[in-house]
Structure 1
Amino acid sequence: MTIVLIDDDISDIEYCKELLSKNFDGFDTLEYFTDPLKGLEYLNEHKPDLLIVDVEMPNLSGLNLLKDLKSPNTEVVFCTSHDKFAIDAYRHFALGFLLKPYNETEFIAIITKALHRLGSSKKEPVNNKLLLDTLALENKKIAIPTLGCTYFSKIMDIVRLESVDSYAKIHLTDGNIHISSYGIKFFENSLTPPLFFRVHKSHLVNVKKITKFFPDGTLVLDTGERIPVARRRRAGLLELFNGQSTSVLN
């Protein structure tokens, strides 16, 4: 088994090597790079089993490195000192995520999970493009035109949109509500699956805010709000969770 570490901080690489040597065995090669461009070159040539890569690096970020990775069977574990990154997105795509400074117990758990996936005959390939599109959407802001002014909100701060006549009522995580003269259709072009889903002609919801789904077609959000799901849209909503973390619907 070949493991590759890519991180611009050599002290993090050394600690990662120490944790691997202390808690795991059975790997033949352990390569490391502080230059992500050289690391990517090695990855595409040798196609290692496991990659542990920092998210934020000069010249080439971990996310862009994943985009250029030509080794579909390599198991990827991301690490970063900034928890602002989309932890849920990584987990939904069955990728590991480590927060710096490393906690040894969490490190063992994430690496063990990655190694189990490597040995699984049922391992499903990760859709890298979908992952990158999801992460890009999560860190993006959206303009909300209203009669008084235009607000700018982070997309992931939107809980749901509700159609009221020809207007759109935008509900935010902080409890604020903006009423836009533009309808839901206008926002639907930017708020797309897999993060947002049009569950009803009058409702567009942030999928990550869903906590329950009842057989009668009622969604419950983490705000406690209950949203109807049109019968013809229920199958599509459930399909959205296939291959992701379906625990949100339990």
Structure 2
Amino acid sequence: MNIVIIDDTTADIEYCKELLAKNFDNSNILECFADSVAGLEYVNKHKPDLLILDMEMPQLGGLDLIKQLKSARTEIVFYTSHAGFALEAYRNFALGFLLKPINEPEFVGIITKALHRLEQEKKGNLGLDNLKSALQALENKKVPIPTMGCTYFPKVMDIVRLESVDSYAKIHLADGNIHLSSYGIKHFEQSLTPPLFFRVHKSHLVNLKRVEKLFPDGTLVMNNGDHIPVARRRRAELLELF
């Protein structure tokens, strides 16, 4: 966890450093600043995980400073001698608020909370990266479509939608071609899965990247102009995917 401390009182900076070294082995103090203007410039450039910030400083106070922060992911812990600043601190999205003189158990609790939140954010970002990679791999994949005459291999992204016709599947492609497969729609649903494809109706499987709009009556319009009915019980789930 990369940390920056901004406080015009040197003794308070040293005490924060002491508590961090004592209680958090994984903390890395990048810099400490008594000059809030210089501190703001550094934080905007290096975007630390955590900013421990005094509320009352000459030139640029804590509340004014965070209004100029460029890093939305930097967690902020305020501390000050006046409890009256607490509400204002939380209104400005502070993770925590500490009163001077700093109480060690309270300090440890707040920093632990910051660590936990940062870990959750990293997990979320990793999950998003994995999802993007999976989507990219799926988009470049080709899908075999067995028909009565031969087997076609269109790219996944070229498939607009699949339609169930009796025990067969009708595959509509972006170039306007339509193939009738001897396999049913369930066969293709095994490989054409969310978050790229979604079964909006028992008879329709659609490419979500080819969707143009959804009408209140549950009619889905694809980018090739096709109108698809969405089953009532699947509309909420469909909207969540977007």
- Superposed displacement of residue 116, structure 1: 5.5
**TM alignment of 1:98-137, pairs within 5 A:** 117-118=72-73, 125-126=124-125, 127=127, 128-137=129-138
Q: Quick one: distance in 2 between partners of 1:210 and 1:231?
A: 17
Q: TM-score, normalised by structure 1?
A: 0.49
- Superposed displacement of residue 164, structure 1: 0.6
**TM alignment of 1:201-220, pairs within 5 A:** 201-220=202-221
Letter in 2 for 1:148: G
1:141 counterpart SS class:
coil
1:118 counterpart SS class:
coil
Letter in 2 for 1:27: K
> CA distance change for structure 1 residues 174 and 235 in 2, over 3 Å: closer, same or farther?
same
1:57-95 alpha-carbon deviations (Å, 9 max, x no partner):
xxxxxxxxxxxxxxxxxxxxxxxxxxxxxxxxxxxxxxx
Q: Quick one: distance in 1 between partners of 2:132 and 2:201?
A: 25
- Superposed displacement of residue 119, structure 1: 5.2
Provide structure 1 residue ranges, at least 5 long, that are not aligned to the other structure. Answer: 3-23, 30-47, 50-114, 242-250
Q: Which residue of 2 aligns with 1:162?
A: 163
Provide structure 2 residue ranges, at least 5 long, that are not aligned to the other structure. Answer: 3-40, 50-69, 76-92, 94-116
* 4+ runs deviating over 6 angstroms: 120-124
Q: Which residue of 1 aligns with 2:143?
A: 142
1:10-43 alpha-carbon deviations (Å, 9 max, x no partner):
xxxxxxxxxxxxxx984249xxxxxxxxxxxxxx
The answer to whether residue 227 in structure 2 is matched with residue 226 in structure 1 is yes
Q: TM-score, normalised by structure 2?
A: 0.51
- Superposed displacement of residue 157, structure 1: 0.3
Q: Quick one: distance in 1 between partners of 2:135 and 2:143?
A: 15
Q: Which residue of 2 aligns with 1:197?
A: 198
The answer to whether residue 28 in structure 2 is matched with residue 27 in structure 1 is no
Q: Quick one: distance in 2 between partners of 1:186 and 1:164?
A: 13
2:154 counterpart SS class:
strand
**TM alignment of 1:4-43, pairs within 5 A:** 26-28=44-46
- Superposed displacement of residue 118, structure 1: 3.3
Bigger radius of gyration among the two: 2
Aligned-pair Cα RMSD in Å: 2.9
**TM alignment of 1:71-82, pairs within 5 A:** none
Q: Which residue of 1 aligns with 2:34?
A: none
Q: Which residue of 2 aligns with 1:52?
A: none
| Identical positions, percent | 66
Q: Quick one: distance in 2 between partners of 1:198 and 1:165?
A: 17
| Number of aligned residue pairs | 138
Q: Quick one: distance in 1 between partners of 2:209 and 2:191?
A: 16
Q: Quick one: distance in 1 between partners of 2:185 and 2:46?
A: 55
1:170 counterpart SS class:
strand
2:144 counterpart SS class:
strand
Q: Quick one: distance in 1 between partners of 2:71 and 2:216?
A: 34
